[in-house]
Structures are given as structure tokens and as C-alpha cells.
Amino acid sequence: MEHVQLPSLESTPARTPRQDFSKSRAIQRRAHQLIPGGAHTYAKGDDQYPVNAPGFIARGYGCHVWDVDGNEFIEYGMGLRAVTLGHAYKRIVEAAYRQMQLGANFTRPASIEIEAAEVLLEMIDGSEMVKFAKNGSDVTTAAMRLARAYTGRDLIAICGDQPFFSTDNWFIGTTEMRAGIPKSISELTLKFPYNDLDALNRLFDMYPSRIAAVILEAEACDPPKPGFLEGIKSLCERKGAVLVFDEMITGFRWHLGGAQNYYSVVPHLSTFGKAMGNGFAVSALVGEREIMRLGGLEHDRERVFLLSTTHGAETHALAAAIETMRIYREQNVVGFLWQQGERLRQLVNQSIAANHLEGFFEVIGRPCNLVFVTRDQNHNQSQAFRTLFMQEMIRRGVLAPSFVVSFSHTDAELERTAEAVFEAHKVYRKALDNGVDKYLEGRSVRRVFRRYN
Ligand SMILES: Cc1ncc(COP(=O)(O)O)c(C=O)c1O
């Protein structure tokens, strides 16, 4: 692939001028010939974005990205919520590079594994042991295996309203996109709705002494009802199941110690990833020694194969994680995410009011993790209107599948975003009045989890 000439940061224009996507479009065709789906994460795929979206990113700095054609965008979400400080964040790059020069992977453990374990466990109250890995899916899957081994049970209960826990069969088998997964595996995963303790209780009654683990995000979009999280924990303890919080998104966003600290409900096991390494591949399963130790050498029960991967403790990813966690602590990053998210929410709400979009466009979620909901003229959730909004934002230099901010989203970026939102909302308003198809450049975005293309 040809290298592109990138503009210097100093010459970045305040407004996006004419957008040219010719290189992106050329590579896009090639990408689908070489890579199923044209990308390595479905959430980044072409079907998730409007047709005018940049196809490939060449470079990122702070919360700005430049595509292969040199178009610049303010980005939200940033690496599927992994890049919390900012792209190419100097201290993280330097920490990783320093470590890289000492070697990436050895025949025996590296001492940085202990340092990383100490830094992480100090932040997560009640967690006594940790195993690192490279992605979130592996650690949630490990939690399920460990819970099954610990309890000697076979079933798993997952929160059915929450979108994602793992790329592995125990979760994907419960989605619409379950081709290739035997029914016998899917049947071992049960679902309960968020905020419905009675429903979970009924599952325990329907399958006595069979549920090994209950896994959920402590919070996704709706806040927990008073007593819900505490209730789940005591139910799990009464019924002998392991409670697992998936903190892939909530970790280092809700609170430095995760949503478990924010809500003062400590699960038996929890899983972290994404924000832990500012985009470097690092994830962690943490939890009570009593359970975690089954993956170790110091017990006489049956051995559990718990997260043993070639790259699990890649040294520079751990160095990046240590430095990221240090910065979180030193600079109140979490406080900044909440503050900027709240500010952005207010700016978007002003635009909603000014464009008479109440009930059609809504910003939901915690300030540190804002998403938007798009509705059509009948107030039904609409992918066509989501597409239109993203299309109009892209035209104005903002790549926003969500409004998830980072430490690099300063007031200047929020204001530029608010201007784009205001203009995009004007088009949204017209589309409500005259029909969305008139304003869409191409097909709508689609849900990832669907049975057929
Ligand atoms: C809540 C949650 N759990 C688990 C995962 C899986 O993480 P990974 O993509 O790193 O395997 C994700 C990824 O989006 C997630 O959002």
C-alpha cells in the first residue's frame, strides 16, 4: 500500500474542506477480497457506517484521526472504547517503546508481570489475583471456565439485554449470528433481563444447583435499580454461583476501581480490558484468591487451564498498561471523562431543543460512556436515521458512532462537535418532515448480529 502524505497537526483546518475518499474506496474493494468483512472487528465494518465514511485510518493523534486520503476527523469511541487517553499518547508510546527495547517475550516470566499485577490489584478492591491476556473475550471465557470448575456446574446465566461478552461459543451461540456453533453449547447459556432480580431467581429455581456463573455489566445504558446489584450478589452467594462483572467498558470509566467500586458491590471475579492499556492489547481476569488459585500450582483440586497464551504477558503491552493506570491516578482522567461527557451531553441537548428533535434524537448513558438513540417520525428506533446522522457528522469532520469521549476531547473539540451536531440535526429535522431517503447518500447501517447479509 502506498504511504500517504499526512498533514502536520499545525496545519489542521478548523473545518473539514472538500472530502476526497478515492484512496479509501480503492482499498475498500481490495480489503473485502483479502479479509472477510474487510476488517478485523465487525463493529468497524463497512455495514456499520454510512457510505460516505472514511474507509481506512492512516494515523491518529489525540482525538483526531486522518484517513488514507488525508481527511481529518474528530473521533468518538476511539478504538472501540480502548483509547481513553488519546491516540499516540506520548507517555504511553514512550513507556511501551522503552520496554520493547528490552525484549517483548521470554522463555520464563518477565518481572514486569508482577509489577503490572500489583498496580492493577491495588486499584480493584477485593481482587487478590490476576491473569493477563490480550483481549476481553479470552478473559470472560476464562471466567466462565473457572466458575464451572469451581462449582462443578455446567450452566451460565448472562444478562440478555447487554450486547457483548465474548467472541467464544458460549456467548456467540446465543446471538442471531450463531452459524457453526452446536446447539448443545448454546443451550448451556441462559439469559435474564437487566434489573430483573426475580427473573434470575426463577432461573435458579428452574435449574437447581446447575448455574455456575452469573455474568453481567454492572451498568450499560440504564442505571441499576436500587438493590439490584446487591441482590444479584446475595442471590449468587445463596445459590452457590460465581458472580462475574464484565468491566470491559465500565472499567477505568465509571471509577478507577471499576463499576464495582462505583456501586460498592464487589463480584467474585471481574474482567477488564479496553481502557486498561490505552489501545495496547491487554486484558485481565481478576478476583478472589479462593477461586483464582484453581488456575495455579498451589492446590490439590483438579487443575484448571486458566489463560495460558503465548502473548498473554507481552511486556510492552504491560508497560503501556502500567503507565496508563499511573496517568489515570495522577491526572483524574475518570473525572475528566465524566466532566467532558456531561458538557457534550448539554451541548447536544441544546441542539435537540433548537431543532425540535425531542423524542427523535436522544443522548443516553453515563457521561463517561454516552451513546445516542435515533428515532423516526413514528418514534421507532431507526437505523436509517442513525445512518443519516453519522453521514452528516462525517461531512462536517466528526466520526461519531457514539459520543464516548477520551482524555483528549478538550473543550475546543467539543465545541467543534457541537457545531457539527447542530448542522446535522437541521438535516435530521428536514428528514423527519420530508422522508429520510431523500437525504441519505446510500444504504443504511445494519446490526452486527443478524442471520443473513
Ligand atoms: C462488555 C464487553 N465484554 C467483552 C468484550 C470483548 O472484548 P474483546 O473485543 O477485547 O475480545 C467487549 C468488546 O467489545 C465488550 O464490550
How confident is the model at residue 126, as a pLDDT?
A: 87
Any ligand 1 atom below 6 A from CB of 249: yes
Q: Relative to the CA of 82, which ligand 1 atom is closest?
A: 10
| pLDDT-above-90 percentage for the chain | 95
pLDDT of 157 > 80? The answer is yes
What is the Å distance from ligand 1's center to 165 Cα? 6
What is the Å distance from ligand 1's center to 423 Cα? 33
Q: Which of 40, 137, 215, 254 to mutate to test the pocket of ligand 1 (most atoms within 8 A of CB)?
A: 137
Q: Relative to the CA of 135, which ligand 1 atom is closest?
A: 10
Any ligand 1 atom below 6 A from CB of 165: yes
* Dihedral Cα 92, 96, 98, 99, nearest 10 deg: 140
How confident is the model at residue 11, as a pLDDT?
A: 39
* Residue 216 to residue 214: CA distance in whole angstroms: 7
What is the Å distance from ligand 1's center to 440 Cα? 31
What is the Å distance from ligand 1's center to 218 Cα? 14
Cell of 439: 437525504
Q: What band does 14 get if pLDDT is binned at 50, 70 and 90?
A: very low
Cell of 243: 458472580
- The number of beta carbons lying within 10 Å of the beta carbon of residue 277 is 30
Q: Which of 138, 158, 248 to mutate to test the pocket of ligand 1 (most atoms within 8 A of CB)?
A: 248
Are 283 and 131 spatial neighbours (Cβ–Cβ below 8 Å)? no
Q: Whose CA is nearest to atom 3 of ligand 1?
A: 165
Q: What band does 18 get if pLDDT is binned at 50, 70 and 90?
A: confident
Q: What is the mean pLDDT of residues 26-34?
A: 94
Q: Which of 55, 89, 164 is nearest to 406 (CA)?
A: 89
Are 393 and 415 spatial neighbours (Cβ–Cβ below 8 Å)? no
| pLDDT-above-70 percentage for the chain | 96
How confident is the model at residue 16, as a pLDDT?
A: 59
How confident is the model at residue 35, as a pLDDT?
A: 96
- Helix or strand holding residue 203 (H, E): helix 197-206
pLDDT of 230 > 90? The answer is yes
* Residue 447 to residue 453: CA distance in whole angstroms: 10
Are 401 and 390 spatial neighbours (Cβ–Cβ below 8 Å)? yes
